[in-house]
A = this chain, B = another copy of it.
Amino acid sequence: MTEVKNKQVILRNYVITIPKDSDLYVTSTTATIKFKLPADTSATSNSKELAVIVKNLYLSCDPYQRLFMEKIPGLSHFKSYTPGSPIFGYGVAKVLDSQHPDFKAGDLVWGTTNWEQFSLITTPKNLIKIELSDTDVPLSYYAGILGITGLTSYVGLYEYCFPKEGERVFISAAAGAVGQLVGQFAKLMGCYVVGSAGTKEKVDLLKNKLGFDEAFNYKEENDLDVALKRYFPEGIDIYFDNVGGKMLDAVLLNMRVHGRIAGCGMISQYNLDQPEGVTNLMHLIYKRVRYHGFTVREYYHLHPKFLDFILPHIRQGKIVYVQDIVEGLESAPAALFGLFKGHNIGKQVVVVDHE
């Protein structure tokens, strides 16, 4: 039994429209934490119910977390955050103790954890052990390109968009965590790839570092339809939708026959009291286009295959991965909500502790 301060990031109350940093607060109370779990002595216990204690190292900041800060009507399958409790998300952690046979003290893992220093994980099925042979890359990568962010990009592009060489691909929020990877994966396939972003710095990054064919700052465009026609005079085969709203409406006007849209997120809409209306849906029929929403949560089984694909590319320097890292749980609320202000360039990660 050890007494430590377990710093936590707590949701104050459900958020209605635009989140403020103060909607989350960081506690630093002294809590009693058992770093040692009792041995599992029950002959009938299910290994799925066994607990693991971890020290959190890196936390992934993701736009979808905003959705868990409110109760969305009709979505009973959504597990919202609980006001007064720490929020959760994806992260990288080190095992301190485990009742579960798959984990032992000292193991490095990634998966679902809480935004705090130390976590008692009672659903270790959501943890994946990081193989020692795969720790030659920075450990924070498992809070991004080697974890959910990378798998999301991979699944969204390959399982939902079926890219073929020479096809025309557009990605919104392209300098974000997922967008930067989707663009590079599409380039590996021999596609023509254009991304939109919200600052000149991000546009330069896309064109000069990430290998996009073209990129533009959507905030400088009076008419998104005109902007898209400039880069896609023959239309768009694949749209990777990270933003929804007005950009989606303009994209619909520019889709090609049999185009595919992967619905990954609609970050432009999360903080609105009433979402924007999308008016050009008839183009889904005119051009026989499909819009398919997806979640990476249904594709964890593809993670080993994804690692086999991505690790060689990283080791050979064929994929550029941009992280935006802040230090300390105190910085976490501003880092998370900065996603909605476009503050991050690349994958936003919070360092809780260095290994």
Contact = CB atoms under 8 A, between A and B. Distances in A.
Interface string A271-298: 0001111111111111111111111001
Contact of A266 (B265, B274, B285, B292): B285
A269 interface: yes
Contacts of A280: 275
A274 B249 CA distance: 13
Contacts of A276: 277, 279
A293 B298 contact: no
A281 B244 contact: yes
A253 B283 CA distance: 21
A60 interface: no
A290 B290 contact: yes
Interface in A140-160: none
A248 interface: yes
Contact of A269 (B266, B274, B282): B282
Q: Which of A264, A277, A287 has the most CB of B within 10 A?
A: A277
B291 A298 contact: no
Interface string A243-259: 01000100001100100
> How many copies of this chain sit in the oligomeric assembly?
2
A265 B293 contact: no
A72 B278 contact: no
Contact of A291 (B265, B290, B295): B290
Of A75, A77, A293, A295, the most chain B CB neighbours within 10 A belong to A293
Which of the four size classes fits the interface of chain A? Answer: 35 or more
Main SS class of interface, A:
loop
A78 interface: yes
Interface string A118-134: 00000000000000000
Given A253-B74, A263-B284, A265-B285, A279 B275 contact: yes
A266 B279 CA distance: 12
A57 B257 CA distance: 34
B279 A287 contact: no
Given A74-B253, A77-B257, A254-B74, A289 B278 contact: no
A72 B287 CA distance: 12
Contacts of A291: 281, 284, 290-292
Contact of A279 (B253, B277, B295): B277
B295 A285 contact: yes
Contacts of A284: 263, 291-293
B78 A282 contact: no
Interface in A292-324: 292-295, 298
A294 B244 CA distance: 22
A244 B286 CA distance: 13
Given A283-B293, A284-B291, 13 more contacts: A74-B253, A77-B257, A244-B282, A265-B285, A266-B285, A277-B278, A278-B279, A281-B291, A284-B293, A286-B293, A288-B292, A289-B292, A291-B291
28 contacts: A73-B253, A74-B253, A244-B281, A248-B281, A263-B281, A263-B285, A264-B285, A265-B285, A266-B281, A266-B285, A269-B282, A274-B279, A275-B282, A276-B279, A278-B278, A278-B279, A278-B281, A281-B291, A284-B292, A285-B294, A287-B293, A288-B292, A288-B295, A288-B298, A290-B290, A290-B291, A290-B292, A290-B293
6 closest A-B pairs by CB: A277-B277, A285-B293, A284-B293, A290-B292, A275-B279, A263-B285
